[in-house]
């Protein structure tokens, strides 16, 4: 067992990666806690999700903004160089041709803070997840 010297939580693996701070209570609080440069993109992602699945439950899970409806979910997170949009491996594979010029990893799409957000494509992906 390993105990984090910062937060005191106990883990099975030594130096296990985790978040030491308090979890955000709302998506709005999560976005507001990010730098101004990141907030614009995060708000754009949030708005695209809400426009395409207005009846989804908005919450914080795994310390990330998450949208759930029945058995489907999508999450996003602010990272240092990009925002990650977690859509699932199956969706990444289904849209692989449309995503060929964008960095992806297993179940996430990496959206650069310095690039134009492909709003229509993201909307289509969100619709695919929840339909």
The pLDDT confidence band at residue 86, using thresholds 50, 70 and 90, is very high
Instruction: Report the distance separating Cα 38 and Cα 52, nearest Å.
Output: 22
Instruction: Name 37's Cβ contacts closer than 8 Å, sequence gap at least 6.
Output: 113
**What's the number of domains the chain is made of?**
1
29-84 pLDDT tens trace:
999 999 999 999 999 999 999 999 989 999 999 889 999 999 999 999 999 999 99
DSSP tag of 23: P
In terms of residue numbers, what domain contains 36?
Answer: 24-130
CATH number where 78 lies? 3.90.1150.200
Q: pTM for this structure? A: 0.84
Whether 9 is covered by a domain: the verdict is no
């Amino acid at each position: 067992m390993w105990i984090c010297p910062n937060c005191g939580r106990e883990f099975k693996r030594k130096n296990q990666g985790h978040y030491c701070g308090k979890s955000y209570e709302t998506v709005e609080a999560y976005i507001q806690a990010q730098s101004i440069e990141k907030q614009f993109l995060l708000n754009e992602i949030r708005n695209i999700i809400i426009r395409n699945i207005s009846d989804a439950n908005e919450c914080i899970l795994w310390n990330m903004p998450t949208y759930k409806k029945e058995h489907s979910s999508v999450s996003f997170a602010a990272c240092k160089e990009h925002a990650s949009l977690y859509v699932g491996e199956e969706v990444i594979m289904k849209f692989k041709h449309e995503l060929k010029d964008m960095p992806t990893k297993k179940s996430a799409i990496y959206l650069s803070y310095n690039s134009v957000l492909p709003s229509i494509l993201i909307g289509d992906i969100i619709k695919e997840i929840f339909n």
